[in-house]
Amino acid sequence: MNRDCAEAARVRRWVERLVIGEGLCPFAARPWAAGRVRVVCSEARDADAAYRDVLAEVDFLLRADPERVETTLLVVPRALAAFDEYLDVLAACEDALAELDLEDVLQIASFHPDYRFAGEAEDDPGQYTNRAPSPVFHLIRQDSITRALVDWPDPADIPRRNRRRMRALGLEYLRALSAGAPGSD
């Protein structure tokens, strides 16, 4: 794993500009500002290696002190360019969490440059709620989610709210923001 790869830097900018900057995740700012979000790049060049890297990062996160590392963004810049292949690895990783009886401990949020919700147009700005500069597996501690949602009035509305927000921002702005264009932040 590499913390200093160029794609990790792009993903950090994406988190700061879109995820936090546009309020997609109302819970991200605090751990981000405290330095408790680990962003690392996988060196994987195929699906099997990406799968192994996700599981290695799961092991790392389970052993890490939550006060130091609350969550991990595992960036996979050299593999999983095809969205379907990414989804296959995601499903395998979720199956592994279930087999290891870790479903109540960790969850995986998914992000991909070509993310597409089933049955929706590819150019729908709402897709940008889950689009990232590279394939990303976001490993999240369930305890963190539980604590964050305690005082949140309607957690089920967050995805709908985010999709409305992305549509209000518009496709042109989101593409520029994702590409890191000046003036898009």
Residue 151 has pLDDT above 80, yes or no: no
**Which pLDDT score is estimated for 183?**
47
State the pLDDT confidence band at 182, using cuts at 50, 70 and 90.
very low
The 3-class secondary structure across the chain, one letter per residue, is CECCCHHHHHHHHHHHHHHHCCCCCCCCHHHHHCCCEEEEECCCCCHHHHHHHHHHHHHHHHHCCCCCCCEEEEECCCCCCCHHHHHHHHHHHHHHHHHCCCCCCEEEEEECCCCCCCCCCCCCHHHHHCCCCCCEEEEEEHHHHHHHHCCCCCCCHHHHHHHHHHHHHCHHHHHHHHHCCCCCC
> Higher-confidence residue: 50 or 153?
50
Residue 185 has pLDDT above 50, yes or no: no
For all residues of the chain together, what is the average pLDDT?
Answer: 92
